[in-house]
Amino acid sequence: MANHTLLLLSQDNAEYKALLQQAYLPGLTILAPEQEADIQHALSKADILLGEPERLRAHLKNARALKWAQSTYAGVDALLSKGCRQDYQLTNIRGIFGPVISEYIFGHLFSLTRHLRHYKEQQRLHNWQPIPYQSIAGKTILIVGTGSIGQHIAHTAQHFGMTVLGISRSGREAAGFDHTYQIPALNNVLSKADVVVSVLPSTPQTRGLFDAARIEHFKPGAIFFNVGRGDVIDEGALIQALRHGNMGAAVLDVFATEPLPTASPLWDMPNVVITPHNSGYSFPEQIVTRFSRNYLKYINHKPMEGLVDFNLGY
């Protein structure tokens, strides 16, 4: 059996090394150097890399033996920009975020629709004051992006009695959705949705998809979630819509610039919830399970899970 060398390029190197050493991965040498000189030496012989996309990108040029890189994120746009090499197999971890992102969406949705923040403030003031609310049952949710994360959100929405609409590049039917449409139908479908969730990656086709003209099609009072990538929406147009337009509220986990600049008006808007890009945290145990399955496929020359198409961008 051929031997393979894995170089860890993650902020969680020690945890990954410990977990990988417990897995039975035949013929694999695991390197996790700390010093830059040691990293450079390891790059000359490692045929496999594992780490966050930005860290992988910083070392691609010198990874002379590279055949496969496993990203610890689902989004790999840092590795898809012009000038980045594409002469290796790249895998991401799509498919494991559905449950945690679904928890995020519905946790915040209930917080808004059931006025949980207001009740916390009323409790502080010893104020007994019921606030009218509506159930989410019977409401319509539009999920833009019908992959594994979108499908998990869709199933959860169905459980709560919502009508579930989806938008994707192909418009093909997907599990959990009542109806799916292609992107040209987006304006029309937006006007029907009480809740809009974007789980889109950053690709040339998705950047700026939600521009000022598109945002005008939102249903009055709609709640917008962005858990995909920040550059799919025009932030200036979003701010205007939240101040003066149709949009009722926005829950934003991703932004065009991260961290979100302290001067951004979004911070101080009462109908905006900001979280620090943590709606779907990837746990090392899950990533090592995925990597281990992929490693066994890699050494047996079988197609790996989460293989990224460099042309499509995901």
Catalytic residues: 229, 258, 277
Q: Cβ neighbours of residue 270 under 8 Å, at least 6 residues apart? A: none
Cross-sheet strand order for the sheet of 163-168? 179-182, 163-168, 140-144, 195-198, 223-226, 249-252, 272-274
Instruction: List strands edge to edge, sheet with 89-91.
Output: 28-31, 4-9, 48-51, 68-71, 89-91
The contacts of residue 190 (CB under 8 Å, 6+ apart) are 142, 196, 214, 217, 218, 219, 222
For 177, residues 6+ apart whose C-beta sits below 8 A from its C-beta are 143, 146, 151, 154, 164, 165, 166
Count of CB atoms situated within 10 Å of the CB of 44: 12
Is the distance from CB of 93 to CB of 313 less than 8 angstroms?
no
CA 241 to chain centre: 24
Quote the tokens at residue 92. Answer: 């991401």
